């Protein structure tokens, strides 16, 4: 089955057609800048542009950085407030004239990694974390998704964790990989205390730089591995969600 996957992020909106049964992109992904401000109207136009770029007429899956329930967006911490309480599933379907499925962006990345990537065949509690503009999270119990966890908003030193340990925080504070890794280790230790996971999967753009900060994570007892799909995981996972398979 072929589905167009779209991953909405704080800095970029990416999309590509996906062969769901293989978890593979069928064409080079397209990336467009996330509008500033990232209002519902402006982002919907970018989603429409991606659909038109691929001349797509089938199903589309869209990952969004916020809590998603029954097609409605309940939170949008790194997007514009105009998204809150919007039925984005209907909004995208109307704009693109395509059947649409909406899912939290980190949950989408988790689906891709659990089915075709680093988490394939893993049981127990698996936590995937995406480090980008914020910190996204996806929790799996024996391979089944527990949706909308938003672990990036846990408190750490009086701030939400993503304000200290996201990739944006690393860039804005000009942290070395070693020093940023120490912040990530503190965050992972907090998650260990709360959830006792069996595996951490490190996703987002930083997954390609895993070797640069892994030494800073040595005090973490839980196994830690990099995501295999990198920045395409959200695209693949959104397509999986829309396929219904």
pLDDT, mean over the chain:
96
Instruction: Tell me whether the CATH fold assigned to 2-107+232-243 matches the one assigned to 121-227.
Output: yes
- Give domain limits for the chain: 2-107+232-243, 121-227
Q: DSSP string spanning 44-72?
A: HHHHHHHHHHTT--S-EEEEESS-EETTE
In angstroms, rounded to a whole number, what is the distance separating the alpha carbons of residues 125 and 222?
11
CATH of domain 121-227: 3.30.420.40
What's the pLDDT tens digit per position in 1-34?
999 999 999 889 999 999 999 999 999 999 999 9
The whole-number pLDDT of residue 242 equals 97
Answer whether residue 231 shows pLDDT above 90: no
What's the pLDDT tens digit per position in 193-211?
999 999 999 999 899 999 9
Q: What percent of the chain has pLDDT over 70?
A: 100
In angstroms, rounded to a whole number, what is the distance separating the alpha carbons of residues 51 and 163?
33
Answer whether residue 141 shows pLDDT above 90: yes
Residue 6 φ/ψ region, left for φ over 0, alpha for ψ in the -120 to 50 degree band, beta for the rest: beta
CATH value of 2-107+232-243 in 3.30.420.40, 3.30.160.100, 3.90.420.10, 3.40.50.300: 3.30.420.40
Closest by Cα among 14, 18, 45 to 30: 14
Residues 2/56, Cβ–Cβ less than 8 Å: no
In angstroms, rounded to a whole number, what is the distance separating the alpha carbons of residues 71 and 27?
27
Give the number of other CB atoms < 10 A from CB of residue 131.
25
Q: What is the mean pLDDT of residues 215-228?
A: 96
The whole-number pLDDT of residue 230 equals 85
In angstroms, rounded to a whole number, what is the distance separating the alpha carbons of residues 93 and 219?
46
Kindly indicate the confidence band of residue 216, based on its pLDDT and cuts at 50, 70 and 90: very high
Q: What is the mean pLDDT of residues 110-131?
A: 97
What's the pLDDT tens digit per position in 62-76?
999 999 999 999 999
Residues 45/94, Cβ–Cβ less than 8 Å: no
Alpha helix locations (H) across 104-220? 105-116, 161-165, 167-172, 177-195, 210-213
Q: What is the mean pLDDT of residues 209-225?
A: 96
Cβ partners under 8 Å of residue 118, min gap 6 = 201, 225, 226, 227, 228
Q: What is the mean pLDDT of residues 125-141?
A: 96
Q: What percent of the chain has pLDDT over 90?
A: 95
Answer whether residue 245 shows pLDDT above 90: no
What's the pLDDT tens digit per position in 153-185?
999 989 999 999 999 999 999 999 999 999 999
């Amino acid at each position: 089955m072929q589905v167009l996957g779209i991953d909405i992020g704080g800095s970029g909106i990416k999309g590509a057609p996906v062969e769901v049964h293989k978890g593979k992109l069928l064409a080079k992904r397209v990336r467009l800048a996330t509008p500033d401000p990232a209002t519902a109207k402006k982002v919907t136009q970018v989603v429409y542009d991606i659909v038109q770029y691929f001349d797509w007429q089938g199903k589309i899956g869209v990952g969004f950085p916020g809590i998603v329930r029954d097609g409605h967006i309940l939170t949008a911490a790194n997007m514009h407030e105009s998204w809150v309480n919007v039925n984005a599933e209907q909004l995208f379907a109307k704009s693109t004239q395509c059947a649409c499925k909406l899912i939290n962006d980190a949950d989408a990345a988790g689906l891709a990694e659990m089915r075709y990537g680093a988490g394939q065949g893993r049981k127990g509690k698996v936590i995937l974390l995406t480090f980008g503009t914020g910190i996204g999270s996806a929790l799996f119990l024996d391979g089944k998704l527990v949706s909308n966890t938003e672990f990036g908003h846990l408190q750490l030193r009086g701030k939400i964790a993503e304000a200290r340990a996201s990739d944006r925080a690393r860039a804005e504070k000009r942290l070395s990989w070693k020093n940023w890794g120490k912040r990530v280790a503190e965050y992972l230790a907090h998650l260990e205390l709360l959830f006792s996971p069996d595996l951490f999967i490190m996703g987002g753009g930083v997954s390609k730089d895993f070797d640069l900060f892994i030494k800073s994570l040595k005090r973490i007892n839980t196994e830690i591995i990099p995501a295999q799909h990198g920045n395409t995981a959200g695209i693949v996972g959104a397509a999986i969600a829309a396929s219904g398979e």
